Amino acid sequence: MFEYIKFEVENRVAVITLNNPAKLNAISFTMMEEMHTALDRLEADGNIRVLMIWGGEKVFGAGMDITRDKSGEKESPPTDNPVARRLHTLYDRISRLPMAVVAAVAGYALGGGFELALACDIRIFSENAKVGLPELNLGTIPCGGGTQRLPRIIGAGRAKELIFTCDRIGAEEAYRLGIANRIVKEGALYGEAMALAKRLAEKAPLAVEMAKHAVDTGLEADLDTGLLIEMRNSAPLKYTQDYTEGVTAFKEKREPQFQGR
């Protein structure tokens, strides 16, 4: 059993709930290990097609648990940050899942909590959401991917402003900047995010995997290379059963039933 998260599966959607309300879902090493265990279960279940991550209707995640035991941290080499390494390992694993990952963000998503949301493919915000990277106020910098993922979403200049000022922004500003994909009414977050997740779960899983890989990999390349990546990701799909099913369903004017084969 888990102590700081919940892991549930609803139809073909897995839900990881951050569950440490006493510390506003602050991310501890124990919580990270529990999330790895949940991901192990997800990857072992061949029926799961979408992952949703949220922290409830009141708070997503208020950063790292800065009260954690820090013994031994300063003994590590100057070029190594054990906290960053653990965050990168977890968040990179989430971002590289072969399925769509939806973050449902309510209340505060700060520091490592915000960086967790940035590692997801799609971010749904409640009206009460507030996000920010306050690390410079603590004499350090974002180390869970914030200095890398945020600029890729909103551009370097805007990302630097948020990082340097440590400002917290609300849902409307996050939507304007492109951080939030959509905003929903307070109290309706789970239902709206789950409805989207179920829609995504109906799509051909191999095609979702290839589309995600093409977008993420292409972002790091020039256009010509990106188009080549797109072609090479699309080519194998025409040999899949799902492609045949999709074309057949289109001709027969019915909803396709994809099997991931």
- Long-range contacts of residues 190-196, Cβ cutoff 8 Å, at least 24 apart: 190/54, 190/57, 190/104, 192/104, 192/124, 193/52, 193/54, 193/102, 193/104, 193/124, 194/10, 194/13, 194/15, 194/52, 196/102, 196/122, 196/124
What is the helix (H) or strand (E) element at residue 51, kind and residue range? strand 50-54
- Whether 192 is a known active-site residue: answer no
Q: Which of 33, 115, 192, 255 is catalytic?
A: 115
Other CB atoms within a 10 A radius of the CB of residue 174 amount to: 24
- Whether 73 is a known active-site residue: answer no
What is the helix (H) or strand (E) element at residue 251, kind and residue range? helix 241-251
- Please state, in angstroms and rounded to a whole number, the distance separating the CA atoms of residues 175 and 153: 11
Q: Which of 135, 209, 220, 252 is catalytic?
A: 135
Tell me which residues are annotated as active site.
115, 135
